[in-house]
Structure 1
């Protein structure tokens, strides 16, 4: 029998898989390259998703304080570290998110940290956090696909089943 946890995490993992397709066979230089008028790069998007998964795991597990990187004004800028390490960090962050979600009630309300855009936030149910991470991942998968296609013509859609 499939639970709601399983279904939500299955959809999130599928979207992570789609996002990772845009990262296939990238060099360090390509991961840092801007290919559109946007400041976004593939490495920067990956860094942002790593920070997001880590931040929401921090929140779901009830750790105090604002999660590292949550208020980072350079959240889409990736400058240090290797691309392979960043990819590994994404895998680890996703695993930690999945573990935290499986251990929580989806209806549990968790305190959200204060932020400039919401200084007095209401608590969120864990379910909303999972859906938010899913939406963020999907949105940035689309960005990644456009950036990658402009970089070298590779299309996520063409690679989905390869």
Structure 2
């Protein structure tokens, strides 16, 4: 059935399947939007759909880097204003951030496929206020669960933003974006006129 995780064989497959499902839901909130609509902040927050997808791509890539213990590019500091991370700038397009998100997802899935033990330790970065000082390591399993949590939270934000933009809701958007063969929701259609 569309919009549901299919039956799973084991823990790894289940964690990746649920992460994939949440990624698809977040991506679906952008279906049919223009770049200007993806920049829109129609709710009480400063969040936009394009900005949320951009942030999700950056965060997922960052967690994959953490698993691999590698550093790419400058690292965020506690003093840095991260509001630009949540905004789709005039120089960025929705297609760009969707591509970045797809690349981050592909890399995460490929890295996880190569890890023999999901209990493998992932060192917790020290000296940053958003990471606990009293925890030395997480497991790869914990990181995957956190990615599911984070993606779900931002998907909920994006749902509200999308509904504020044009009234579209998740299941009709999914039915349209994924071209469900026998939709149990009327697929979303772009407004005419």
**TM-score normalised over the length of structure 2:** 0.76
Runs of 4+ deviating beyond 4 Å: 64-72
Residue from 111, 114, 121 that aligns with 1:109: 121
| SS of equivalent to 2:31 | coil
Distance 1:112 1:78, change over 3 A: farther
Superimposed CA distance per residue, residues 28-53 of structure 1 (whole angstroms, 9 cap, x where no aligned partner): 10010111011000111011100111
* CA separation of 1:82 and 1:155: change in aligned 2, threshold 3 A: same
Q: Deviations over 1:1-26 (max 9, x none)?
A: 82311111011101111111101011
| Higher CA-based Rg | 2
Q: Give the paired residue count.
A: 162
Question: For residue 76 of structure 1, what is the aligned residue in structure 2?
Answer: 86
Unaligned runs of 5+ in 2: 1-7, 177-193
What is aligned with 1:118?
131
Q: Secondary structure at the match of 1:160?
A: helix
| Larger helix proportion of the pair | 1
Alignment check: 8 A CA contact 2:26 2:151 kept: yes
1:55–1:67 contact (8 Å) kept in structure 2: no
Could you list the runs of 5+ residues in structure 1 that have no partner in the other structure?
A: none
Match for residue 28 of structure 1? 35
Q: 2:53 aligns with which of 43, 46, 53?
A: 46
Q: Is the 8 A contact 1:65 1:113 kept in 2?
A: no
Whether the aligned pair in 1 keeps the contact of 2:29 and 2:158 (CA below 8 Å) is: yes
Query: Which of the residues 10, 18, 26 maps onto 2:25?
Result: 18
Q: CA deviation at 1:122?
A: 1.9
1:29 and 1:66 map into 2 onto residues whose CA distance is 28
Query: Shift of residue 70 of structure 1?
Result: 7.9
Distance in 2 (CA, whole Å) between partners of 1:87 and 1:117 is 26
Kindly indicate whether the alpha-carbon contact (under 8 Å) linking 1:40 and 1:76 is maintained by their aligned counterparts in 2. yes
Query: Counterpart of 2:110?
Result: 99
Tell me how far apart the structure 1 counterparts of residues 77 and 13 of structure 2 sit (CA, whole Å).
27
